[in-house]
Chains A and B, each alone.
Chain A
Amino acid sequence: DSGVTQTPKHLITATGQRVTLRCSPRSGDLSVYWYQQSLDQGLQFLIQYYNGEERAKGNILERFSAQQFPDLHSELNLSSLELGDSALYFCASSVAIHNEQFFGPGTRLTVL
């Protein structure tokens, strides 16, 4: 177990709704990353935080936002959900910016 936890494990919701995914990094890790994994797109980097600050941005839609809190846990907010947002959302953490990443088990989001 890498120590990264994500909740919930599964989430089923309807189009147009808003959801929040939560990630707790490994103890001592300051950097948190969010990824989207879908069948047709592979693993897509969304956004990275380091010690509470946004560090890098990838292919994250404007309908999506994230933040990292003082206790270093992170939340990914997905709004105005569309069918195409159905995917596995992974969180990863690392000690610093360029270190090995440890992944969480993912949250499977299904938008109906």
Chain B
Amino acid sequence: AQRVTQPEKLLSVFKGAPVELKCNYSYSGSPELFWYVQYSRQRLQLLLRHISRESIKGFTADLNKGETSFHLKKPFAQEEDSAMYYCAPHSDNAGNMLTFGGGTRLMVKP
């Protein structure tokens, strides 16, 4: 079955520390992967997608097909990064639904 796993429900780091939010997937084919973020009292919004290979707000994510992972990383966390982060792979097979991971709450302490 296609699924996404974000093993950490909560990740707490100090400001300036590196952060890595894990995402593992089991999908057939070659999925396109997204990270969405939800700041407090705001709606979900796209953070980045692997296909564009861009860095948004200092975050990057590399698709590792061997490990079937798409971890989100930032070298120096900021307090404003505190939010819920959702990993969301699409499948490139027509008709497959978008399945979000369970989400990881990142708390960046001062």
| A10-18, A50-58, A66-74, A78-86 - the one binding chain B | A50-58
Residue of A whose beta carbon sits closest to that of B99: A45
Chain B residues whose CB sits within 8 angstroms of the CB of A35 once the complex forms:
100
Chain A residues whose CB sits within 8 angstroms of the CB of B32 once the complex forms:
98
* Residues of A bordering B, CB below 8 Å: 2, 4, 33, 35, 42-45, 48, 55-58, 90, 92, 97-98, 100-106
Chain B residues whose CB sits within 8 angstroms of the CB of A56 once the complex forms:
95-98
- Shortest beta-carbon distance, A55 to chain B, in Å? 7
Choose among A44, A45, A58, A104 the residue that contacts B43 (Cβ–Cβ < 8 A): A104
CA–CA, A106 and B38, complex, Å? 12
- A–B Cβ pairs within 8 angstroms, 5 of them: A43-B100, A44-B100, A45-B100, A55-B95, A98-B32
Q: What 0/1 readout, one digit per residue, does chain B (84-110) give for beta carbons within 8 Å of chain A?
A: 001000101011111111110000000
- Our count of residue pairs bridging A and B at CB distance below 8 angstroms stands at 54
* Residues of B bordering A, CB below 8 Å: 32, 34, 36, 43-46, 49, 86, 90, 92, 94-103
Asked if B95 contacts A42 (CB within 8 A), the reply is no
Chain B residues whose CB sits within 8 angstroms of the CB of A106 once the complex forms:
43
User: What 7 A-B pairs have minimum CB-CB distances, sorted nearest first?
Assistant: A56-B97, A42-B102, A103-B44, A103-B43, A43-B100, A42-B103, A98-B90
Chain B residues whose CB sits within 8 angstroms of the CB of A90 once the complex forms:
43-44
- Shortest beta-carbon distance, A106 to chain B, in Å? 7
Asked if A105 contacts B43 (CB within 8 A), the reply is yes
Query: Do A33 and B45 contact each other (CB < 8 Å), given the known contacts A43-B103, A98-B32?
Result: no
